[in-house]
Amino acid sequence: MTAAPIRLVLADDQALVRGALSALLGLEPDIEVVAEAGTGEEAVALARSERPDVVLMDVEMPGMDGIEACAAVRAASPQTRVLVVTTFGRPGYLRRALQAGASGFVVKDTPASQLADAVRRVHQGLRVVDPALATDSLVSGESPLTTRETDVLRAARDGSSVAAIASRLFLSEGTVRNHLSGAIGKTGAGNRAEAVLVAEGNGWL
């Protein structure tokens, strides 16, 4: 008796990437792509309705990002495993994804055969992590930023004023300035724009 194929949902905001992944993985006899999502919210909804075995999740998507969506997918469909596939191999992303419940983390230039194998291993309950990224993550360590400093830096990404950030996060302007100052110091940056770049480069945001 032939085992049922691994039911897979693809989540990526780029239609071309989704199409390519679907075509490549669809060639595997033991993998069936059952649905595609363009946002984190769609991925969570599909996990709830389709109950797939594995969700292949991009990190950088509009609205709910892949790491937030990973935690939400695991809550909506606990038996579904998440394999994060991203262009951006940042150590902080890896650490945060695993903390959110991801079973694996690989980069998009992984050969198709290795990606298919990663799907199989995650489905079997194994953890799959890009080895170079795992080493970098150990070297770089945890994010030095507090939760509030992280929130403030995220809000500062678009160049918003202190007043606008304070309004958005329901904080006083003085508190926002203090958190920005703390984040700038911890990232070794000269200003908040540099702090955002450093934090993004390490996958802390």
* Domains of the chain, residue spans: 6-139, 147-201
User: Over the stretch 114-162, which tens digit does the pLDDT of each residue have?
Assistant: 999 999 999 999 999 877 665 555 555 577 888 899 999 999 999 999 9
Q: How far apart are the first and last CA of the chain?
A: 47
Residues 6+ apart with CB under 8 A from 11: 36, 37, 38, 39, 40, 42, 43, 46, 55, 56, 57, 58, 61, 66, 69
Burial class (CB in 10 A: 0-12, 13-18, 19+), 189: middle
85 secondary structure, DSSP code: E
Tell me the CA distances in angstroms from 75 to 51, 78, 81, 156, one per residue in order. 12, 6, 11, 30
Q: What per-residue confidence (pLDDT) applies to 138?
A: 52
How is 86-146 classified by DSSP, letter by letter? ES---HHHHHHHHHTT-SEEEETTS-HHHHHHHHHHHHTT--EE-HHHHHHHHHH-S--S-
pLDDT in tens, 4-55: 999 999 999 999 999 999 999 999 999 999 999 999 999 999 999 999 999 9
Give the architecture-level CATH label for domain 147-201.
Orthogonal Bundle (1.10)
Tokens read off for 3: 């085992």
The string of pLDDT tens digits covering residues 173-188 is 999 999 999 898 888 8
Distance from C-alpha of 140 to C-alpha of 196, rounded to nearest angstrom: 17
- As assigned by CATH, the class of the 6-139 domain is alpha beta
**How do residues 71-96 score in pLDDT, each as one tens digit?**
999 999 999 999 999 887 676 788 88
